Amino acid sequence: MGEPTADAGPVAGIASLRRTPQQARSRARLVRVLEAAERVLVDEGVEALTTTRIAAEAGVSVGSIYQYLPDRGAIIEALAAGYFTKLEAAMDDLVRSASAQPWEDPVGVLIDAYAEIYRTEHGFRALWFGSGLTEQTRAADREHKRRMADGIRRILLALGLAEDDDDLARSCHAAVLAADALAQEAFRRDTKGDAALLDEAKIMLRGYLTDIAGRYPEQGG
């Protein structure tokens, strides 16, 4: 019998892989490599993300990494894909929460939730605040933000604050872009997040949410 096959889990959907591991043991090795890459990223920065350095950190051969991740760009893209997956899973959880019970302060809930992710995901901060993002990663980030905007749209619909139309989708995308820029600046200033700037972001986005809800009188009134 061959190796057991299991759910792809953390390595599913990583487009930068040279090939996708099919067996559980191979996937486990790749997960170990990505965990090692994140440690190197956090401790030493983007420039240290070489196959040689990561192989040493993971305790595997360079060849075993190269068959999946041929260079720094592929490693960066794989790490970014993992962070996108975590952020989008958190958004899905928030959508379910909004569907289950009303939120008194939707903007506060969302910003606090994502600020906590910024605080705990040290690799995400190290990657985004470094200088090594590839064009593929930037393109993937744009698509990620559109998926996050769709999560915001679903939350507003679940809370009965809007109607589903093209204007709502565009507004949610604009809100995500603004919130992301403010969050990044808050965490550039302070690794725990500049509380005053995060509060300003809440004030700004609450005003924007009020404007969005006001376009749909039955929902916003």
For the chain of 221 residues, list the mean pLDDT of each consecutive stretch of 10. Answer: 41 60 79 93 91 94 88 89 92 97 96 94 87 85 96 96 94 96 94 96 97 79 48
Q: What predicted TM-score, i.e. pTM, was given to this entire model?
A: 0.86
Domain count for the chain, please give it.
2
pLDDT at 130: 75
Q: Which domain holds residue 29?
A: 9-66
Q: Do 170 and 61 fall into the same domain? A: no
| Residues 25 and 134 reside in one and the same domain | no
Contact of 121 with 178, CB cutoff 8 Å? no
Q: Is residue 2 part of a domain?
A: no
Domain CATH for 100:
1.10.357.10
Both 20 and 53 in one domain: the answer is yes
Residues 130 and 88 in one domain: yes
For residue 22, what pLDDT is reported?
65
| Shared domain check, 150 and 47 | no
Q: Is there a domain that residue 139 lies in?
A: yes
- pLDDT for 12: 52
Whether residue 82 sits in one domain with residue 57: no
Question: Could you tell me if 54 and 80 lie in one domain?
Answer: no
Domain boundary among 48, 66, 84: 66
Digit-coded pLDDT (tens) for 2-17: 333 344 455 555 656 6
Residue 138 lies in a domain: yes
